A and B are shown apart, each in its own frame.
Chain A
Amino acid sequence: MTEHYRGSCHCGAVRFSYEGEVITKGLRCNCSICSRKGAMMTPEAIPQENFSIEAEEGALGLYQFGLKTAKHYFCKRCGIYTFHETSRKKDHYRANLGCIEGIDTFSLDADVFDGKNLL
């Protein structure tokens, strides 16, 4: 079962959409950056070819650190983390479930990835 999802940052300057597995739970990670974002993410790592990004000019911020394999994107206008390219799976994205239309993260359970020790 797949579904089409759409999401955006808070101000709307960064938008995304993708076709993927139906969202029934979230994923959290305790690594240094995920713990600060506090985001519940898509459990599925979405292949680049299924993931579409639309951003107003100059709005998409990119932050990298450490080995610089992961690409952490955020909106430079409102600061919201919308999606990132994962370090574990090249050319795959995880998105912030809090940004996806129709998803209420407060009513979803989440698995926790031990990124603090495994990344």
Chain B
Amino acid sequence: MKKMDNLIRHKGSCHCGAVKYEVEATEIIQATLCNCSICSKSGYLHLIVPASRFHLLQGADNLATYTFDTHEAKHLFCKTCGIKSYYVPRSNPDGFSINVRCLEPNTIKGINISNFDGRNWKVNAHTLAHLSKEFE
């Protein structure tokens, strides 16, 4: 995220609507697709942002948390519909990863997807760290 980028508010939710949020990001979303063990199963498309740009509107009490291995990432999903609409990633514990697949499409002008080799997480994680910093 660069200082001159114009941010708008995108709305997101799980499927049943219990969890709702807004995220400040550019109109063209810079997304990351990861091939690690859990992302392969969850089909997740990441938009990693600083904590200050994520606003949970409702549903904190309807979220379940799953952790594994180092237990650093907090994988959150809706207890009712199972959808993982956002979570705290291991690569960016100071921010959030938003699931682009859960954002309302009407505010999105485009999506650029970069691949992240999460199967080799330790050697690649540093390439994501800047995404949750306030400004580059």
Contacts and interface: CB of A to CB of B under 8 A. Distances in A.
Interface stretch (A17-25, A48-56, A75-83, A86-94): A75-83
Q: How large is the interface on B (under 10, 10 to 19, 20 to 34, 35 or more residues)?
A: 20 to 34
Interface of B: 14-16, 35, 37-38, 40-45, 64, 66, 68, 75-77, 79-85, 99, 101-102
Sort A-B residue pairs by CB-CB distance and give the 4 closest, nearest first. A38-B43, A79-B77, A74-B82, A78-B66
Nearest to A77: B66
Q: Chain A contact residues: over half helix, strand or loop, or mixed?
A: mixed
A74 B79 CA distance: 10
Contact of A63 (B16, B38, B75): B16
Nearest to B39: A98
A36 B42 contact: no
A72 B82 contact: yes
A65 B64 contact: no
Contact of A11 (B66, B81, B83): B66
Contact of B37 (A10, A33, A63): A10
Contacts of A11: 66, 68
Interface residues of A, number: 28
B16 A38 contact: no
B15 A98 contact: no
Nearest to B14: A36
A40 to B, nearest CB: 7
A11 B43 CA distance: 16
Contacts of A10: 37-38, 41-42, 66, 68
A31 to B, nearest CB: 10
Nearest to B105: A35
Contacts of A81: 42-43, 82
Q: Which of A78, A99, A105 has the most CB of B within 10 A?
A: A78
Contacts of A78: 38, 66, 68, 75
B66 A63 contact: no
B82 A79 contact: yes
A114 B75 CA distance: 29
A65 B76 CA distance: 21
A32 B38 contact: no
Contacts of B102: 36
B75 A36 contact: no
A6 interface: no
